[in-house]
Amino acid sequence: MSEKSMPHFFSRSQMQVPLFMGMASLASLFWSACGFAAQVMLTDEAGEPLANAVLMVDEVPALASHSYVMDQIDRQFEPHVLVVPSGSLVDFPNSDDVRHHVYSFSSAKPFELGLFKGSDAPPVSFERPGVVVLGCNIHDAMVGYILITDSPRFAVSDTQGMVSLADLPAGKWPVAWWHPSLFEQAPVALGELDLSQASQIISLPVTQAGSVVKPALSPLQQRFKNATQ
Amino acid sequence: MRIRSLRTRLILTAVGLLAIVLGLVFLAVYASTNFSAQRQAQRQLEIGSNVFSNLLEARARELTNATQILVADFGFRQAVATGDLATIRSALLNQVGRIGADQALFFDAKGVLRISTATVAGADKVEVQALQSLSDQAMITVIDNRPYLLVEAVVRAPVPVGQVAMAFALDTALANELQKITGLEIRFVSRRDQEVMSAFSTMPFAQQNMSMQEGTQQFADEIYLTIPITLLDQAPYSVVAQLASPLNEALASFDYLKRELMIITLIALLVSSLLAVRLSGSLARPVTLLALAAGRIGRGDYSGKVALPRTDELGMLATSIDEMRVGIAEREKLISYNALHDPLTGLPNVSVIRERLRSAIANAQAGVLAQCDLVSAELLINARGQDFMDAFIRQSVTRLVDHLPAHALLAWQPGVGFLLLLERGNLDQAVVDIDALLARLSEKMQVDDIKLSSQWVAGVVEWPLNGSDPHELLRQASIALADASPGADRVAVYQAQRDRAFQRRIQLARDIRYAPEYKELSVVFQPKLDLASGEVRQVEALMRWTHSELGPIGPDEFIVLAEQTGSIGMLTQWMMDAVVSQLRDWIDRGIGLQVAMNISARDLDDPLFPQRIEGLLLAQQISPAYLSMEVTESALMTDPERSIVSLRVLRELGIALAVDDYGTGYSSLAMLKSLPVQDLKIDKSFVLQLAEGSEDAVIVKSTIELAHNMGLKVVAEGVENLYSLNWLKERHCDVAQGYFISRPLAAIDLEKWLDDTRGTFGGSEGA
């Protein structure tokens, strides 16, 4: 496990991720050769809908760039996962009535926004692709992710695991995915996929935190126990 | 050992009881304090072990908080997030120093140990051998064979990027710190497969070998109550905290109490002993006094008054003893008075005489002892009664007491008479004085309206001439008295040879009872001559006693003795048997003789006497006409009324009766008239000297005439010469008896004499 969990940032060629793809029988009914809105459902290993998962499609025309916002509402980063193209500026407005101290020690873009309120904080520019884990120095529970990608098209799954990609050219395109469980690892390639088929479901090798029983042992104990067994 | 003294026993009992009670109290307190101490120690141990656990947890919380602060530090998080190990190590060392941990460990996000502050940078190779949760936040671990309290904190940036653990050694310093709070001795022992890897203790080294078991353990002077708390048990590793409560400490808190109790016990014992000694003294002392007083009374000392100045039972006892003392003294005085005095006369008795004699002789004095007695006192008593006699004696005493010679002691002993002890003077003077006293006594005296004259005699003995033993002297006086007779010889002086006669009498009186048994008795017959016919038709049977030593004893001697000593009845019986069997023999052989035998007053007193004679005569088929009986005049006059009754019975049987020894008594012929007698035998003292014109002759002559007038035949005894025989024949005396006719003869001689003398004496016709 320790070998498997060794970090290999952005070495896409070495990815050996098992791919699961299922086709629904009705997918062909919605197929279109000149642009279509792809609707894909992402699930975890257990087949449960997987939220906050990111699907990226390469080698397709990019959509027009726009401004990106990582809001903070009710002491949570909103959205939990934000995907931005490389070189984007992201605003960090504070919607709460308390101050936040947003920071990231991620190598993709370490930064620190000292205590601020409202829209006091300046936008942060994320030039390099990678994963930036966001935290608030005074609210340990606040965790947010910004995925910086060079892929032209990308989308984040909603709470039902649904991903929508509009105006996607028909055909097969290289597809990759990312989920916060991958932590700072680079997105994982799924190969070339035709996403135009209706009611596609893609199962990702993710174990959702909520579905796993938290061990009673402390992390250190758990580790010690695992090590001695 | 027997305890004799009442006092000692009282003391021992009281003090012993108290000692037992106090001992039990002491033991009970001792046991309960020991139990209490143990309980206290146990409680302390339980509380201590709770406190211990709480302390460990509190310590862990404290450390956790400190560690949480570290991992929350932005800079530290940055260092961790950026993998700046050097910075992390320095921060950890800084924190270790700040919170007093022994070492800090850092694990990366994958749980790999990256930093250990116990080793130098780059050689972070410590081995975590065992790990076990102690509480929510704390763990016990064994690192490099040493036990630690471990707390951890996850470093989040904001996701977990690493973990920091702070280790605090379970060592002596911690143990000491915990001991200060819990008050218990604490020992941390780490073992691997039962082998002790490390041990840290608050206790001296010697006590580190303590067993891990729960319970009481002793080391040298210290007793510990121990309890093990297992902090970690992960085979093969174990970490145990052993808590020990020193029992001595708990016990020591009771030492003061025990010491106090001991002192109180000793004081109580001492005080109670003193009280017991005092109390028993107050009991035993008066008891001892009373015992001594009782002892004095027992020895006859009645002088000291017995009293105790107290009102309790002992006081009452003393009063009772004193009353007893007075009572005994009075009674003893009375008893000794009675012992020495005669109740009738109030005079001293013979004991006093004996005592005075003894002391006088011991003092080499000389004097005279006299015994005085009333002549025929028995007659007086029989005639007037004992009360009269007593009054007579009392009056006689009053007559004497004022006329006693100087140095005289007068005593009265019942059955003996007056005893007079003269302690001075010679015999002649004494005889004169005593004779004067007897004369005074013999004067006529008025007693209960009766005037009577009495005759007194006295026996006198000189002492110490005749002996120095009071008993012997009294006996000699008595012997002398027996020799005295009314008249000129009323005072008899003891003479040694007279004593031999007395001894002879004693011997005879004793031996006569055995005479029939030894066949020393015999019968002789004296013929009675019928003066009118000149024939012998009657004989008087007379008893003879031939003593085996003393030879023939005269009837005058032994008959009197037999009458005095009560043997006469037995002699009469023997005589009757002999006479009746002789009669039988004579009748069988055709010899017709009437045999007269003498009977005494005692025989007349015996109501069965006539029946016995009758039975005897019937048995031998002999007519009562062959038997006659002679009763002396004095015997008849002893109790004339009874004599008459008995004589009538005999007479009715057909037995002829005669009054014997007539003239020696006081009876009158008129009195004889009322008696059923046929013959009157004139006493031989009148017949022996019948000279013409003599007084005796006048008496005999008138007696014969008067008897004949009353129809009585007259028998004259003591006829010893022809003159008397003729004289009697001329005066018409009926029968003569005496040596002139024949002395008494044995039966066979009598028969021969009868044959030889037939017709010799002739009848009155022939005279």
| A218 vs B152, B157, B161: nearest CB | B152
What are the extents of the domains in chain A? 12-63+152-211, 68-148
Nearest CA in chain B to A108: B82
pLDDT at A25: 35
Maximum C-alpha span of chain A:
59
Averaged over B507-526, what is the pLDDT? 88
Q: Which amino acid is present at A53?
A: A
pLDDT at B692: 72
Burial B117-149 (b: 16+ CB within 10 A, else e): bbeeeeebebebbbbbebbebbbbbbbbebbbb
Percent of residues, chain B, with pLDDT higher than 70: 96
Averaged over B326-353, what is the pLDDT? 87
| A183 vs B82, B159, B165: nearest CB | B159
Contact (CB<8Å) B163/A142: no
CATH homologous superfamily of B350-494 equals Reverse transcriptase/Diguanylate cyclase domain (3.30.70.270)
Residue A222: band (very low, low, confident or very high) from pLDDT cuts 50, 70, 90 = low
Averaged over B317-344, what is the pLDDT? 87
Give B635-693 pLDDT, tens digit per residue: 887 777 888 888 899 999 999 999 988 887 766 767 777 888 899 999 988 888 887 77
CATH top-level class of A68-148:
mainly beta
CA distance A202 to chain B (A): 27
Averaged over B746-761, what is the pLDDT? 88
Separation of first and last alpha carbons in chain A: 14
pLDDT at B632: 87
The strands making up A68-69's β-sheet, listed across from edge to edge, are A68-69, A88-91, A124-126
pLDDT at A10: 38
| CA–CA distance, B584 with B706 (Å, rounded to integer) | 36
Structure tokens at A138: 């005074």
More confident call, A146 vs B282: A146
Contact (CB<8Å) B110/A137: no
Q: Considering the entire predicted model, what is its pTM?
A: 0.46
Burial group, residue A116, by CB count within 10 angstroms (0-12, 13-18, 19+)? middle
Residue A22: band (very low, low, confident or very high) from pLDDT cuts 50, 70, 90 = very low
CA distance B28 to chain A (A): 55
Residue B605: band (very low, low, confident or very high) from pLDDT cuts 50, 70, 90 = confident
Q: How many CB atoms lie within 10 A of CB A97?
A: 7
Partner A, chain B 252-291, Cβ-Cβ below 8 Å: none
Partner A, chain B 140-169, Cβ-Cβ below 8 Å: 150, 152, 154, 156-161, 163, 165
Whether B517 and B501 have beta carbons less than 8 Å apart is answered as: no
Contact (CB<8Å) B158/A227: no
Say whether pLDDT at B588 is over 90.
Answer: yes
DSSP letter string over A97-137? Answer: SS-EEEEE--TT--EEEEEE-BT-SPPEEE-S-EEEEEEET
Taking the Cβ of residue B110 and every Cβ of chain A, the question of whether any pair is shorter than 8 Å is answered with yes
Whether B9 and B3 have beta carbons less than 8 Å apart is answered as: yes
What are A's interface residues with B at a Cβ cutoff of 8 A? 2, 5, 103, 105-106, 110, 133-137, 140-143, 183, 217-221, 223-224, 226-227
Give me chain B's average pLDDT, please. 85
Q: What residues in B contact A136, CB-CB < 8 Å?
A: 158
Averaged over B730-756, what is the pLDDT? 92
| Best to test chain A binding among B152, B156, B159 (most A CBs inside 10 Å) | B159
Q: Are strands B456-463 and B521-530 parallel, antiparallel or unpaired?
A: unpaired
Averaged over A124-130, what is the pLDDT? 92
Q: What residues in A contact B111, CB-CB < 8 Å?
A: 219-220, 223, 226-227
pLDDT at A29: 40
| A105 vs B78, B112, B150: nearest CB | B78
Structure tokens at B148: 């630690």
More confident call, B123 vs A201: A201
Query: Is the previous residue joined to B405 through a cis bond, with omega within 30 degrees of 0?
Result: no
| A219 vs B112, B157, B163: nearest CB | B163
Lowest mean pLDDT among A11-25, A42-56, B283-297, B557-571: A11-25
3-state secondary structure of B317: helix
What are the extents of the domains in chain B? 42-248, 300-340, 350-494, 509-757
Taking the Cβ of residue B83 and every Cβ of chain A, the question of whether any pair is shorter than 8 Å is answered with no
Q: What residues in A contact B131, CB-CB < 8 Å?
A: 220-221, 224
Contact (CB<8Å) B110/A136: no
CA distance A70 to chain B (A): 16
CA distance B33 to chain A (A): 48
pLDDT at A178: 93
Which phi and psi angles does B372 have, rounded to 5°? -115, 140
3-state secondary structure of B201: strand
Lowest mean pLDDT among A35-49, B539-553, B569-583: A35-49
Residue B342: band (very low, low, confident or very high) from pLDDT cuts 50, 70, 90 = confident
pLDDT at B205: 58
Nearest CA in chain A to B112: A223
Structure tokens at B76: 């530290």
Looking at B82-171, list the stretches that DSSP marks H as alpha helix, in order from N- to C-terminal side.
85-99
| CA–CA distance, A76 with A92 (Å, rounded to integer) | 12
Q: Which amino acid is present at A120?
A: D
Domain B509-757 bears CATH identifier 3.40.50.2020: no
DSSP letter string over A63-83? Answer: PPP--EE-EEETTEEESSEEE
Lowest mean pLDDT among A39-48, A126-135, B113-122, B715-724: B113-122
Whether A79 and A72 have beta carbons less than 8 Å apart is answered as: no
Contact (CB<8Å) B74/A218: no
Calculate the CA dihedral of residues B674, B677, B678, B680 and round it to 10 degrees. Answer: -90
pLDDT at A224: 65
pLDDT at A212: 44
Q: What residues in A contact B157, CB-CB < 8 Å?
A: 105, 133, 135
Which phi and psi angles does A147 have, rounded to 5°? -100, 120
What would the CATH number be for the domain defined by A12-63+152-211?
2.60.40.1120
Say whether pLDDT at A15 is over 50.
Answer: no
HSE-up of residue B275 (Cα within 13 Å, Cβ side)? 10
Whether A72 and A120 have beta carbons less than 8 Å apart is answered as: no
Give B388-416 pLDDT, tens digit per residue: 888 888 888 988 888 888 888 899 888 88
Say whether pLDDT at A218 is over 70.
Answer: no
DSSP class of B319: H
Burial group, residue B569, by CB count within 10 angstroms (0-12, 13-18, 19+)? middle
Residue B123: band (very low, low, confident or very high) from pLDDT cuts 50, 70, 90 = low
CA distance B90 to chain A (A): 20
Burial group, residue B248, by CB count within 10 angstroms (0-12, 13-18, 19+)? middle
Structure tokens at B476: 């000699």
| CA–CA distance, B350 with B418 (Å, rounded to integer) | 9
Q: What residues in B contact A142, CB-CB < 8 Å?
A: 158
CA distance B63 to chain A (A): 16
| CA–CA distance, B596 with B539 (Å, rounded to integer) | 6
Contact (CB<8Å) A221/B131: yes
Taking the Cβ of residue B131 and every Cβ of chain A, the question of whether any pair is shorter than 8 Å is answered with yes
Contact (CB<8Å) B110/A183: no
DSSP class of B305: P
Say whether pLDDT at B169 is over 50.
Answer: yes
Percent of residues, chain B, with pLDDT higher than 90: 17
What would the CATH number be for the domain defined by B42-248?
3.30.450.220
Nearest to A155 by CA among A170, A166, A144: A166
Taking the Cβ of residue B235 and every Cβ of chain A, the question of whether any pair is shorter than 8 Å is answered with no
pLDDT at A35: 63
Contact (CB<8Å) B158/A220: no
More confident call, B739 vs B281: B739
| B131 vs A105, A219, A224: nearest CB | A224
Whether B171 and B163 have beta carbons less than 8 Å apart is answered as: no
Q: What's the complex ipTM?
A: 0.71
Residue B729: band (very low, low, confident or very high) from pLDDT cuts 50, 70, 90 = very high
pLDDT at B623: 92
Bridge partner list, B156: B160
Give B307-328 pLDDT, tens digit per residue: 888 888 888 888 888 898 899 8
Bridge partner list, B108: B162
Segments of B123-236 assigned E as strands: 128-133, 138-143, 146-156, 160-169, 185-192, 195-201, 215-219, 222-234
Give B89-103 pLDDT, tens digit per residue: 989 998 888 888 888
pLDDT at B753: 93
Q: How many CB pairs under 8 A join A and B?
A: 57
Q: Give, in order, the Cα–Cα distances in Å from B251 to each of B225, B255, B258.
A: 12, 6, 10
Nearest CA in chain B to A184: B159
Residue A54: band (very low, low, confident or very high) from pLDDT cuts 50, 70, 90 = very high
Say whether pLDDT at B166 is over 70.
Answer: yes
CA distance A142 to chain B (A): 7
Contact (CB<8Å) B107/A220: yes
Nearest CA in chain A to B151: A220
Taking the Cβ of residue B74 and every Cβ of chain A, the question of whether any pair is shorter than 8 Å is answered with yes
| CA–CA distance, A80 with A73 (Å, rounded to integer) | 11
Q: What residues in B contact A133, CB-CB < 8 Å?
A: 157-159
Percent of residues, chain A, with pLDDT higher than 70: 75
| A223 vs B72, B78, B107: nearest CB | B107
Taking the Cβ of residue B112 and every Cβ of chain A, the question of whether any pair is shorter than 8 Å is answered with yes
Nearest CA in chain A to B141: A221
